[in-house]
């Protein structure tokens, strides 16, 4: 590397340039507890570049002790056996179950995972965790660190290699990770966005900036993973949610002279959360698919999608804001919540199912309207479609205002919704203009415009039913590439159109009046482009005896042969890239669907066409009522209009929101609980399957005597673990290189075993 990273003595003075500090040399006798941040960096003589091989003189004993390095608070410090690993897996399983004795939620069903209820308030989300964090300081500190360690371009795969992980990624994670600072992931993603922005405008640093952006994402993923490893149970799940969905402001903690003026709206009434963004939103906008595909991120995304984690999101613009009660980030217990809980209408999974039903109704009304169409007057089906379609389009426009255009367009079917909304607005304006002015022809053309929406609406239902299908995911990206390339081709081939038109005008054998118009020439060129007809080549001598056929043949070669070949190659390459990383693409779309599904605007609680009435009545009412009375009126209206839906949600969530805990079997004689009464229809139906016992064997915990016999048979003591890792321990004693030191951590059980002799 060039620059600071190419000189091993570039920061011997310990100056804070690039956010670095003095790097002490490694001594085996030193206590490694406090040297996690610099042990790996200093082991290479202060060198951060991965190009330099470790010095042969570094053949000391191990410099990383797993017991002191991992810091697992839920495991004993002196003894970590396989039983400890099983208990760690058990704690992760408890994050998805709600035990009967966990009955400490508040009256709204919210609790914090540590045996304490969480009441709704009008204060900021968890002020003790977010308001005192130095976000501005962390952002610039991270930028200086990334600029210091990356001076040469690397691919994403190269950054994930073991040697790069030990020399660059791991030291950054050790230095930046702080169990008490949940803003690090957000600050890393903000820096990723900045490096991606600089990549577009600084051509001389284009590939280097892309490497820095990828490094920020990779470090953010590992920091989030460490939060997941060191926090267990429901409190750990809630901490991960705080990291991803707690709102931050980039200038938080900055000097007053650096802070830009902030404009708060009394109508929106978001308080301190106005202008703040979450790490999840920044990850979506920056397309951090590696981070969002990680297990820690997916754990939070799945909990938010199902409604196990609830919070009030930060939004851009609310059409009907009702922020009288602010939901902090908390866990949800449906057993203690109200029966008619209007906030459950904003759960992403519930809202997704409601949206599918709403779109089916819209499609049915559209088909009915077009089947019974009358050009010169409004029919009953058309009036019903006008009202319902207007409410549906209003819901779509409010979704765009909720989180902004960039986030909304990341949704898989957003381009279909936006296209239909544009067609509907054109139809509505033309229909009303024809009705007001008495022009029947305008009304007929309005229905013709509405008929064009059919190719948009019918594929849209397939996108809803199969959002994780690779065909639809790749189709969205391929349509984007096809549109961009087609516009470029039309722009370039416009010169052929003008040349042929001017040749036909100047041809004395044809004359100006008899020359083909631009539309006719364009039609001939389009047929040649797709290889449908050769009329344009036949008519080419009418433009010019020599130049006309020459231009047409050149255009045929460029358009029909070269352009289509390039187009197919680009689309094939796009599909191959998406298919090669299909899991990350699917999980990224799932994250977008989840983030967009958490709504704050009260308008989304009203179903079309009732949202039109709410849009006309509630915003003016907000100026005449106090926030408390406006909230009461809004809640009562939502509960009345959604009464059957809220009852169905409460019935389902009290039985299936959290995974059922595995029943503990009773020792001694007697039938198993699985075979006793009260099986229910669904359980009885599943027992008829020939493979039912394959699942039923895991539904109950084994009896205590069976567990004791298993432990005696396997002999889960440290001795057998030492034998299992004797080879890796010997390798680690033979070589003190970072790569060999980290080999044990990549093994399954090495994360819970300190190694021999520790």
**What is the overall mean pLDDT for the chain?**
77
Rounded-to-10 torsion of CA 29, 35, 40, 44: -60
471-481 average pLDDT score = 83
What value does the CA radius of gyration of the chain take, rounded to a whole number of Å? 32
Tell me: pLDDT of 193 over 90. Answer: yes
Each residue's pLDDT tens digit, 240-252: 999 999 999 898 8
What's the pLDDT score for residue 85? 62
Percent of the chain with pLDDT over 90: 32
Structure-token match 């999840």, residue found: 280
Tell me: pLDDT of 505 over 70. Answer: yes
Q: Which of 20-34, 279-293, 463-477 has the lowest mean pLDDT?
A: 20-34
452-459 average pLDDT score = 91
Residue 263 confidence class, pLDDT cut points 50, 70, 90: low
| Range 634-647 burial, b when 16+ CB lie within 10 A, else e | bbebbbebbeebbe
Tell me: pLDDT of 442 over 90. Answer: no
Structure-token match 């009036």, residue found: 383
Closest CA to 105 of 251, 245, 289, 310: 310
Residue 204 confidence class, pLDDT cut points 50, 70, 90: low
Residue 310: enclosing H or E segment and its boundaries?
strand 309-310
Tell me: pLDDT of 737 over 90. Answer: no
How far, in Å, CA of 215 to CA of 99, rounded? 40
Each residue's pLDDT tens digit, 38-75: 333 333 444 433 443 344 443 443 333 333 444 444 44
Percent of the chain with pLDDT over 70: 72
How far, in Å, CA of 266 to CA of 651, rounded? 38
Tell me: pLDDT of 1 over 50. Answer: no
Burial of 368 per CB tally in 10 Å (0-12, 13-18, 19+): middle
Omega within 30 of 0 (cis) for the link into 609: yes
DSSP 44: T
Residue 111: enclosing H or E segment and its boundaries?
strand 110-111
- What would the two tokens of residue 345 be? 């209408």
3-class SS of residue 515: coil
How far, in Å, CA of 363 to CA of 501, rounded? 45
Model pTM score: 0.75
Angstrom CA distances, 68 to 32, 300, 747, stand at 7, 28, 17
How far, in Å, CA of 363 to CA of 361, rounded? 5
Longest dimension (CA), the chain: 109
111-123 average pLDDT score = 58
How far, in Å, CA of 131 to CA of 142, rounded? 20
Tell me: pLDDT of 183 over 90. Answer: yes
Q: Following DSSP, what letter does each residue of 407-450 receive, concatenated?
A: HHTTSTTHHHHHHHHHHHHHHHHHHHHHHHHT-HHHHHHHHHHH
Closest CA to 703 of 661, 671, 664: 664
Each residue's pLDDT tens digit, 28-45: 333 433 334 433 333 344
Helices and strands in the chain: count of H runs, count of E runs = 35, 7
Structure-token match 């989300």, residue found: 125
How far, in Å, CA of 241 to CA of 684, rounded? 37
110-133 average pLDDT score = 60
How far, in Å, CA of 360 to CA of 304, rounded? 25
Structure-token match 């508040």, residue found: 106
Each residue's pLDDT tens digit, 595-611: 988 988 889 999 999 99
Q: Which of 28-37, 114-123, 724-733 has the lowest mean pLDDT?
A: 28-37
- What would the two tokens of residue 337 be? 């919540």
DSSP 670: S
- What would the two tokens of residue 129 be? 């965790």
Q: Are 406 and 285 in contact (CB under 8 A)?
A: yes
What's the pLDDT score for residue 426? 95
* Number of other CB atoms surrounding residue 699 within 10 Å: 14
* Number of other CB atoms surrounding residue 371 within 10 Å: 8
How far, in Å, CA of 735 to CA of 27, rounded? 15
What's the pLDDT score for residue 443? 84
What's the pLDDT score for residue 536? 82
């Amino acid at each position: 590397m060039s620059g600071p990273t190419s000189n091993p003595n570039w920061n011997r003075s310990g100056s804070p340039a690039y956010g670095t500090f003095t790097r002490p040399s490694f001594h085996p006798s030193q206590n490694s507890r406090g040297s996690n941040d610099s042990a790996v960096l200093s082991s290479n003589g202060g060198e951060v570049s991965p190009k330099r091989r470790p010095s042969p003189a570094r053949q000391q004993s191990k410099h990383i002790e797993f017991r002191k390095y991992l810091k697992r608070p839920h495991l004993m410090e002196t003894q970590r056996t396989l039983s400890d690993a099983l208990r760690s897996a058990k704690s992760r399983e408890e994050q998805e179950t709600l035990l009967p004795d966990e009955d400490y939620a508040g009256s709204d069903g919210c609790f914090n995972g540590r045996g304490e209820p969480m009441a709704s308030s009008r204060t900021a989300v968890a002020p003790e965790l977010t308001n005192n964090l130095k976000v501005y300081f962390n952002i610039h500190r991270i930028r200086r660190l990334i600029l210091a360690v990356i001076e040469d371009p690397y691919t994403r795969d190269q950054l994930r290699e073991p040697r790069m992980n030990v020399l660059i990624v791991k030291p950054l994670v050790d230095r930046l990770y702080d169990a008490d600072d949940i803003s690090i992931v957000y600050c890393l993603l903000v820096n990723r966005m900045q490096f991606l922005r600089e990549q577009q405008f600084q051509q001389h640093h284009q590939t280097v900036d892309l490497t820095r952006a990828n490094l920020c994402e990779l470090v953010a993923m590992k920091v989030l993973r460490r939060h997941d490893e060191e926090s267990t149970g429901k409190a750990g799940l809630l901490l991960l949610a705080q990291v991803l969905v707690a709102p931050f402001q980039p200038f938080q903690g900055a000097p007053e002279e650096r802070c830009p003026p902030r404009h708060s709206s009394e109508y929106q009434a978001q308080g301190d959360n106005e202008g703040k963004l979450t790490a999840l939103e920044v990850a979506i906008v920056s397309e951090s698919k590696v981070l969002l595909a990680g297990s820690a991120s997916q754990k939070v995304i799945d909990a938010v999608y199902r409604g196990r984690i609830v919070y009030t999101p930060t939004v851009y613009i609310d059409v009907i804001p009702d922020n009288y009660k602010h939901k902090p980030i908390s866990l949800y217990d449906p057993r203690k919540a109200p029966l008619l809980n209007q906030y459950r209408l904003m759960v992403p999974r519930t809202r997704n199912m409601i949206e599918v039903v709403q779109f089916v109704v819209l499609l049915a009304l559209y088909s009915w309207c077009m089947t019974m169409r009358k050009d010169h007057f409004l029919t009953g089906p058309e009036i019903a479609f006008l009202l319902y379609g207007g409410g549906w389009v209003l819901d779509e426009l409010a979704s765009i205002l909720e989180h902004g255009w960039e986030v909304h367009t990341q949704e898989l079917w957003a381009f279909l919704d936006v296209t239909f909304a544009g067609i509907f607005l054109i139809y509505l304006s033309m229909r009303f203009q024809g009705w007001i002015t008495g022009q029947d022809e305008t009304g007929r053309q309005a229905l013709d415009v509405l008929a064009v929406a059919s190719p948009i609406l019918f594929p849209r239902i397939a996108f809803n039913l199969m959002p994780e299908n690779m065909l639809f995911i790749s189709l969205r990206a391929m349509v984007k590439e096809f549109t961009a390339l087609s516009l470029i081709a039309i722009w370039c081939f416009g010169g052929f159109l003008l040349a042929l038109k001017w040749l036909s005008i100047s041809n004395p054998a044809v004359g100006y009046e008899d020359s083909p118009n631009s539309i006719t020439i364009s039609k001939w060129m389009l047929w040649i482009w797709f290889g449908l007809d050769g009329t344009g080549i036949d008519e080419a001598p009418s433009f010019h005896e020599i130049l006309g056929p020459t231009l047409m043949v050149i255009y045929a070669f460029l358009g029909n042969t070269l352009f289509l070949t390039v187009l197919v190659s680009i689309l094939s390459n796009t599909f191959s890239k998406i298919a090669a990383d299909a899991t990350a693409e699917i999980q990224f779309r799932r994250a977008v669907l989840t983030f967009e599904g958490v709504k704050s605007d009260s308008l989304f609680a009203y179903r079309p066409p009732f949202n039109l009435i709410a849009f006309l009545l509630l915003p003016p009412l907000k100026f005449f009522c106090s926030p408390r009375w406006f909230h009461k009126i809004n809640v009562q209206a939502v509960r009345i209009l959604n009464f059957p839906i809220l009852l169905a949600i409460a019935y389902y969530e009290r039985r299936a929101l959290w995974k059922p805990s595995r029943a503990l079997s009773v020792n001694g004689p007697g039938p198993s609980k699985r075979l006793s009464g009260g099986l229910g229809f669904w359980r009885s139906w599943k027992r008829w399957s020939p493979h039912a016992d394959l699942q039923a064997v895991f539904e109950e915990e084994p009896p205590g005597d069976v567990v004791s016999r298993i432990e005696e048979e396997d002999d889960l003591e440290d001795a057998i673990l030492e034998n299992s890792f004797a080879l890796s321990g010997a390798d680690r004693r033979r070589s003190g290189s970072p790569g060999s030191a980290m080999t044990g951590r990549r093994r399954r059980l090495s994360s819970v075993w300190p190694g021999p002799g520790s």
